[in-house]
């Protein structure tokens, strides 16, 4: 539900803009605000859930998310829609920041791996199929149906969650440091705004300030009374490597679909439903390999499975570097299948690492940080992609006269993140502890 909403709205933006007579800048903030505020609140709500109970925070999150979905579907203006999207992000952070830690805390050891694998797989399917389902709903039922579609899932999830019994950890109910939270929020805003405006001086300065803010945030965790992230986690090698590799791994997720959607419809002449069907190959392989990952855990450590997944993602991105105007569609199908397989393995395994290497009392913060890195990775990938397109094409629309420029520009983010994925594989071979 949460992942589906984050990716399905993009395809409805033209119709939303027409409904409320919105300019492109305002429209851009409708999906961006969701990612931004999700990223800001993931770690704080993970920390709160560690103190007061994951079930309680998730329950409030589902209520907020569902009510915000109703408000979005009935929004009378663009401003109300933007506010409802921010509320959705807050509820989504309460859900997405704690769902994996809740699963890890209530399932027995023999069932935990499979439960986590299925959960990660479903989340990725929601993210990948969001544009396809969003396009179908927008075409036949209007853009408001995208938000209405999430409501029954929210109600069902709430009814099931209320029956769940959660054993609370014996944690000290510490207050969250407002200084840490504020610095973290401003840093994330700076980084995300910086990437979205990377081709301007304002974007570069904002990105630098946001990055400096991250360093200040890390320093604060060592000196404040109630740190947002416990130093025992923050300076742990496993924690650092797992989050950095996940940031790299998630970066291609959104921009790959974005670039291929434009390529298939504009250059290859496919209809929206044909393009959506072809792009769904990735989600199918994500689901298959996310679920099968639990079986591989009987033979391999999660870090080795994650390394294999990262390698597959890198190979798939490398194939897309050879994209051209006359490229056979089978190359794209194979590339998406390989990337989907890699995502399925690495996403599930990194989640296993985030709960398998740490004490139960850190589950909430550990998984929330991982999901924050995934959100930031998506924004980073799109930021790099938009910057490259800006350099090669400026503000020009995609027309036959600049198809070549578009293809050459598209190859750059594929190449950059393929190289980063190859480099990140090494991290999983140094992740283990001495004991």
pLDDT reported for residue 435: 41
- Higher pLDDT pick, 415 / 350: 415
Mean pLDDT value of segment 244-249: 87
Q: Are residues 249 and 335 in the same domain?
A: yes
* First and final C-alpha spacing in the chain: 39
Residue 171: pLDDT band with limits 50, 70, 90: low
Q: If we measure between CA atoms, which residue out of 434, 301, 430, 424 comes closest to residue 373?
A: 424
- How high is the mean pLDDT of the chain? 83
Average pLDDT, stretch 128-138?
78
**Dihedral-angle region of residue 192 (phi above 0 means left; psi in -120 to 50 means alpha; beta otherwise):** alpha
Is pLDDT above 50 for 298? yes
Model confidence at 89, pLDDT cuts 50, 70, 90, reads: very high
State how far the Cα of 6 lies from the Cα of 254, in Å rounded to an integer. Answer: 10
Q: What is the pLDDT of residue 154?
A: 94
Q: 278 near 333, Cβ under 8 Å? A: yes
Domain stop point among 208, 227, 246: 227
Claim to verify: residue 184 and residue 61 sit in the same structural domain? no
Count of Cβ atoms closer than 10 Å to residue 397 Cβ: 7
Let me know whether 22 and 122 are in one domain: yes
Q: Is the pLDDT of residue 271 over 50?
A: yes
Does residue 121 sit in the same domain as residue 212? no
Residues 6+ apart with CB under 8 A from 312: 338, 339, 341, 342, 345
Per residue in 197-238, pLDDT tens? 777 788 889 989 999 998 998 898 888 877 878 787 777 788
Helices (H), 197-328: 201-223, 231-234, 237-262, 272-296, 302-320
411 shares a domain with 308:
yes
Contact 55, 107 (CB under 8 A): no
Poorest-pLDDT segment among 57-61, 159-163, 255-259 = 255-259
Domain boundary residue, one of 210, 227, 244: 227
In sequence order, what DSSP letters do the residues of 388-411 get, joined into one string?
Answer: HHHHHHTT----GGGHHHHHHHHH
Share of the chain above pLDDT 90, in %: 25
Residues 189 and 272 in one domain: no
Higher pLDDT, 65 or 109: 65
In terms of residue numbers, what domain contains 198? 177-227
Euclidean distance between CA atoms 314 and 424, whole angstroms? 10
Confidence band (pLDDT; 50, 70, 90) for 427?
Answer: confident
Rg of the chain in Å (alpha carbons):
21
Q: Is residue 435 part of a domain?
A: no
Does the predicted model carry a pTM greater than 0.85?
Answer: no
What is the pLDDT at residue 67? Answer: 97
Provide the 3-class DSSP secondary structure of residue 433: coil
What per-residue confidence (pLDDT) applies to 170?
Answer: 54
Residue 71 and residue 196 in one domain: no
- Clarify whether residues 197 and 344 are in a common domain: no
Domain check: are 11 and 135 in the same one? yes
Domain count, the chain: 2
Residues 198 and 309 in one domain: no
**Residue 127, domain member (yes or no):** yes
* Whether residue 171 is found in the same domain as residue 182: no
Tens-digit pLDDT profile for residues 302-326 = 888 888 999 999 999 999 999 988 8
Together in a domain, 284 and 196: no
* Residue 434 counted as domain residue: no
Domain membership of residue 67 (yes or no) is yes
Average pLDDT estimate for 170-195: 78
């Amino acid at each position: 539900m949460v992942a589906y909403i984050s990716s399905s709205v993009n395809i409805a933006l033209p119709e939303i803009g027409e409904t409320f007579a919105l300019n492109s800048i305002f429209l851009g903030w409708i999906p961006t605000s969701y990612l931004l505020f999700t990223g800001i609140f993931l770690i704080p709500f993970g920390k709160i859930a560690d103190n007061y109970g994951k079930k309680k925070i998730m329950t409030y999150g589902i209520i907020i998310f569902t009510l915000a979905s109703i408000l979005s579907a009935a929004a009378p203006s663009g401003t109300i829609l933007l506010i409802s999207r921010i509320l959705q992000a807050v509820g989504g952070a309460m859900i997405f920041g704690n769902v994996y830690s809740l699963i890890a805390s209530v399932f027995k050891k023999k069932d935990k791996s499979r439960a986590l694998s299925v959960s990660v797989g479903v989340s990725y399917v929601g993210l990948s199929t969001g544009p396809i389902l969003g396009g179908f709903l927008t075409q036949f039922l209007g853009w408001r149906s995208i938000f209405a579609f999430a409501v029954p899932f929210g109600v069902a999830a709430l009814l099931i969650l209320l029956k769940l019994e959660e054993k609370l950890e014996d944690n000290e109910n510490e207050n969250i440091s407002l200084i840490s939270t504020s610095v973290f929020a401003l840093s994330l805003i700076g980084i995300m705004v910086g990437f979205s405006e990377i081709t301007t001086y304002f974007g570069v300065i904002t990105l630098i300030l946001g990055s400096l803010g991250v360093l200040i945030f890390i320093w604060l965790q060592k000196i404040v009374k109630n740190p947002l992230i416990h130093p025992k986690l923050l300076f742990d090698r496993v924690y650092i490597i797992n989050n950095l590799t996940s940031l790299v791994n998630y970066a291609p997720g959104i921009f790959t679909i974005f670039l291929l959607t434009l390529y298939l419809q504009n250059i290859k002449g496919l209809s929206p439903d044909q393009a959506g069907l072809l792009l769904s190959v990735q989600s199918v392989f994500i689901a298959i390999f996310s679920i099968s990952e639990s079986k591989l855990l009987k033979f391999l450590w999660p870090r080795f499975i994650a390394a294999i997944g990262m390698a597959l993602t890198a190979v798939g991105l490398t194939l897309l570097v050879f994209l051209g105007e006359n490229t056979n569609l089978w190359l794209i199908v194979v590339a998406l299948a390989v990337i989907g397989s890699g995502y399925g393995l690495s996403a599930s395994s990194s989640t296993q690492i985030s709960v398998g290497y740490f004490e139960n009392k850190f589950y909430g913060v550990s998984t929330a940080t991982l999901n924050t890195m995934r959100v930031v990775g998506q924004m980073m990938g799109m930021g790099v992609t938009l910057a490259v397109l800006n350099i090669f094409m400026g503000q020009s629309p995609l027309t036959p006269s600049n198809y070549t420029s578009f293809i050459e520009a598209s190859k750059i983010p594929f190449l950059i993140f393929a190289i980063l994925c190859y480099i990140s594989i090494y991290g999983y071979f140094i992740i283990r502890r001495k004991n």
